[in-house]
Amino acid sequence: MKFMIIVTGANGFIGSAIVWELNQAGFEDIIAVDSVNLQTRNLLQKRKYTNFYEASELWSFLATPEAKKSVSWIIHMGACSSTTETNWDFLYANNFQYTQRLFEWCSQNQKSLIYASSAATYGAGENGFDDTYDSEKLKPLNLYGDSKVIMDRWAVKQKAQPVNWYGLKFFNVFGPNEYEKESMASVAFKSYNQLKTADQLGLFKSYNSLYKDGEQLRDFVYVKDVTRWIKEIMDKKPENGIYNMGYGEARSWLDMAKSLFAALKKPLKINWLEMPEPIKSQYQYFTKANMTKWQSQKMSAPEWPLEKAIEDYVVNYLSKQDPWL
Domain 182-217+250-286+310-318 CATH class label: alpha beta
Q: What is the pLDDT along the chain (325 residues), one digit of tens a residue?
A: 568 999 999 999 999 999 999 999 999 999 999 999 999 999 999 999 999 999 999 999 999 999 999 999 999 999 999 998 999 999 999 999 999 999 999 999 999 999 999 999 999 999 999 999 999 999 999 999 999 999 999 999 999 999 999 999 999 999 999 999 998 999 999 999 999 999 999 999 999 999 999 999 999 999 999 999 999 999 999 999 999 999 999 999 999 999 999 999 999 999 999 999 888 888 899 999 999 999 999 999 999 999 999 999 999 999 999 999 9
Query: What radius of gyration do the chain's Cα atoms show?
Result: 19
* Domains in the chain: boundaries: 4-174+219-249+289-305, 182-217+250-286+310-318
Q: What fold is seen in the domain 4-174+219-249+289-305? A: Rossmann fold (3.40.50)
- The secondary element (H helix, E strand) that includes residue 241 is strand 241-245
Round to whole Å and give the CA distance between 146 and 229: 25
Report the interhelical angle of 306-313 vs 253-263 (nearest 10°): 40
What's the pTM?
0.96
Which H or E run includes 310? helix 306-313
Task: Give the residue numbers annotated as catalytic, written as ranges.
Answer: 144, 181
φ, ψ of residue 195 to 5 degrees: the values are -75, -10
Q: Which one-letter amino acid corresponds to residue 126?
A: E
Q: Are strands 217-218 and 251-252 parallel, antiparallel or unpaired?
A: antiparallel
How far is the C-alpha of 260 from the C-alpha of 89, rounded, in Å? 39
Exposed e or buried b per residue across 53-74, where buried means at least 16 C-beta atoms within 10 angstroms of its C-beta? bebeebeeebeeeebeeebbbb
Residue 168 forms beta bridges with which residues?
116, 243
Q: How far apart are CA 321 and CA 74, in angstroms?
A: 33
Give the Cα separation of 325 and 178 in Å (integer).
10
Measured between alpha carbons, how far is 260 from 312 in angstroms, rounded to an integer?
11
Whole-number Å distance between alpha carbons of 264 and 291: 32
pLDDT of residue 282: 85
